[in-house]
Amino acid sequence: MRGILTRVVADNFDGVVVVDHNKSIRAASRLAEELLSPELRGTHIADVLPAPFREALDAALDSGRMMDAVSEVVILCNGERRTVEFVVTLSDVDAGEVSAQSAGRVACLTFRDVTERRQVEHRLTYLAQHDPLTGAASRVKFVETIGALLGTPTGRVRGASVYLIGLSRLKTVNDTLGHAYGDALLKQVVARLELSGPISVARLEGNAFAVLREGLLGEDGGVGFAETLIAEVVRPYTLDEHRAIIGARVGMSDSDLSGSAPDALVSHAGVALSIASDQSGNRALAFSKEMDTRIKSKQDMEIALRAALAREEFSVHYQPQVDLETGEVTGVEALARWTHPELGSVSPAKFIPAAEETGLIIELGRWILHAAAREVAGWPRPVRLSVNVSPLQFELGDIVADVRSALAQSGLPAERLQVEITESLLVTEASQITEKLRVLRAEGVGIALDDFGTGYSSLSYLGRLPVDTIKIDQSFVRGLPGDGEASAIIRAVLMLSESLGKHVVAEGIENQDQAWLLRLAGCRTGQGYFFSRPGPAQDILAQLLAAEHDRLTAVTRVG
């Protein structure tokens, strides 16, 4: 039995060190010997163990009390700093069980190297609070900073002002010089904004940035500082041997105009920026309570959306999801399309946010779910259907009833349906939302986390919520194969997903090199223009039928 136990300790996956009452090491696992010393057995703990381990063992053996919880420390292993979790347990061994010299109190140190895990966690935490390209704060972090500033009596007295900067002609730089130069320009924009001495600089979206300052806009309505920002941003940029010039517009507000709610400050500055962007030239506008154009536009869009739903102007297009190994279409993502009788095709980038703001996304989402399930259920190939679900459908609608109704009316098996949620849904951490996800999953419906890495990514969400699939955002895929940082992040997400048993889909694949690199990294499924653009059901069906014909032809030839 002693031989068996010795082998069990030696082969243990974790680092294990067994110490007798004389504080001499009696047994050790191979991992412990690799990380600490190849000559552990028979030595005194003071001679070979790092101070945190030694102190914990001394305390346990001397007091007879085990550690209350797992502890985490950084130790030096073979000249390298490693983060480890460890715990010390005690056992009392009498002479009837072992030899007389071995009897007494025995301590067991168990530790695990969590260095790589912590690095991934720190990186994902960083991504939740910062723009991965420029290093500027994320929208969430920016709003938190405003809240912290105005959360104190002194901050409320002094006030806060927010400046939103929208860049123009950035697309020209990307189209003429390439996205790599466009990305380099954005980094320089952040560097210039930071020179103005703000409390925070954030990147809110592709070409929109925000600056937070303490104090109100001032007697000039903030125009002076805004013009300084514009002057800095529009100065020519040197990009290797190229020079680039962009435009800038600024919308601004302060806590006197918008109140102390951080979201209202950003929103009102955004309204001012929207109006400034509709005008020519580089200009700055401060928010005013008379600015009701945005509200009127929102009302008009709500009326148009309601009419579109009533007149059935919406349709569903599908984008295939492809097995990167075989090229076979394994699923499709349903995407809403709106064709207005007068305006023609309306971009989803316009009507989806409007539907979110007005609450019509609940009705629109329900229609898309039913329409897509009905169409895909009749396809000759049993591909999986993915449907985006808005947070409002969880919070204000009855998503479980909607899914059940769509499946019952269409005949689509639950196992062929997957709902895609965004990370913003996870921030609420409402128990009712978690319960709805669990109910859907228990009934066979898959759950996918869309745009992973761009918002509130956290390891805790992945471990706590019933998520089956992680979709890597296209902003990371776009940098492949040349972007080393993007490659490292994707590998980390793939490694993490594999350890948690999650399926991964890479979005935004645009060329063969990206597909090849993702496949080598272990990603099994991809989606993007390289495989197919979104199209109506008949186009996707034609692709599926053509692929099936090619397969049957190949089988016939082999036969």
Span 225-231, average pLDDT: 94
User: Is residue 91 predicted with pLDDT exceeding 60?
Assistant: yes
Q: Give the model's pLDDT for residue 435.
A: 86
Judge contact between 193 and 211, C-beta under 8 A. yes
pLDDT tens digits, 3-42: 555 555 555 567 899 999 889 998 888 888 888 888 888 8
Judge contact between 333 and 386, C-beta under 8 A. yes
Q: Give the model's pLDDT for residue 424.
A: 65
Q: Would you say the pTM of this structure is higher than 0.85?
A: no
Judge contact between 134 and 188, C-beta under 8 A. no
- Cα–Cα distance, 222 to 309 (Å, whole number): 43
User: Is residue 111 predicted with pLDDT exceeding 60?
Assistant: yes
pLDDT tens digits, 478-494: 888 888 888 888 888 89
The token pair that represents 206 in the structure block:
């592709």
Backbone angles phi, psi at 236, to 5 degrees: -55, 145
| Those residues with Cβ within 8 angstroms of residue 337's Cβ, 6 or more apart along the chain or in another chain | 314, 315, 316, 317, 345, 348
Q: Give the model's pLDDT for residue 100.
A: 45
Name all domains of the chain by residue range, CATH numbers in brackets.
2-113 (3.30.450.20), 120-291 (3.30.70.270), 297-554 (3.20.20.450)
Backbone angles phi, psi at 225, to 5 degrees: -65, -40
The token pair that represents 351 in the structure block:
């009507």
User: Is residue 515 predicted with pLDDT exceeding 90?
Assistant: yes
pLDDT tens digits, 281-307: 899 999 987 786 666 777 788 889 999
pLDDT tens digits, 143-201: 999 999 999 999 999 999 999 999 998 888 888 899 999 999 999 999 999 998 899 99
Q: Which of 129, 107, 110, 111 is nearest to 58 (CA)?
A: 107
Range in 124-128, 196-200, 291-295, 334-338 the model is least confident about: 291-295
User: Is residue 412 predicted with pLDDT exceeding 50?
Assistant: yes
* 15-19, strands of its sheet edge to edge: 25-28, 15-19, 104-113, 80-93, 71-77
Find the Cα–Cα–Cα–Cα dihedral 489, 493, 495, 498, rounded to 10°.
-170
User: Is residue 559 predicted with pLDDT exceeding 60?
Assistant: no
Strands 71-77 and 535-536: unpaired
Q: Which of 498, 524, 527, 271 is nearest to 386 (CA)?
A: 527
Query: Where does the pLDDT of residue 232 fall: very low under 50, low under 70, confident under 90, or very high at 90 and above?
Result: very high
> How far from each other are the two terminal CA atoms of the chain, in whole angstroms?
60
Q: What angle do CA 259, 261, 263 make, to 5 degrees?
A: 120
Q: What is the 3-state secondary structure (H, E, C) of 148-207?
A: HHCCCHHHHHHCEEEEEEEEECHHHHHHHHCHHHHHHHHHHHHHHHHCCCCCEEEEEECC
Single-letter code of the amino acid located at 46 = A
- Cα–Cα distance, 36 to 367 (Å, whole number): 61
Span 466-476, average pLDDT: 88
User: Is residue 70 predicted with pLDDT exceeding 90?
Assistant: no
- Cα–Cα distance, 123 to 263 (Å, whole number): 26
Q: What is the mean pLDDT of the chain?
A: 87
User: Is residue 429 predicted with pLDDT exceeding 50?
Assistant: no
Residue 533: alpha-carbon gap to chain centroid? 24
Query: Where does the pLDDT of residue 448 fall: very low under 50, low under 70, confident under 90, or very high at 90 and above?
Result: very high
Strands 160-168 and 247-254: antiparallel
Q: Which of 102, 103, 90, 92 is nearest to 59 (CA)?
A: 90
Span 508-533, average pLDDT: 94
With a pLDDT cut of 70, the percent of the chain lying above it is: 89
Span 349-368, average pLDDT: 90
Span 44-58, average pLDDT: 90
pLDDT tens digits, 268-280: 999 899 888 878 7
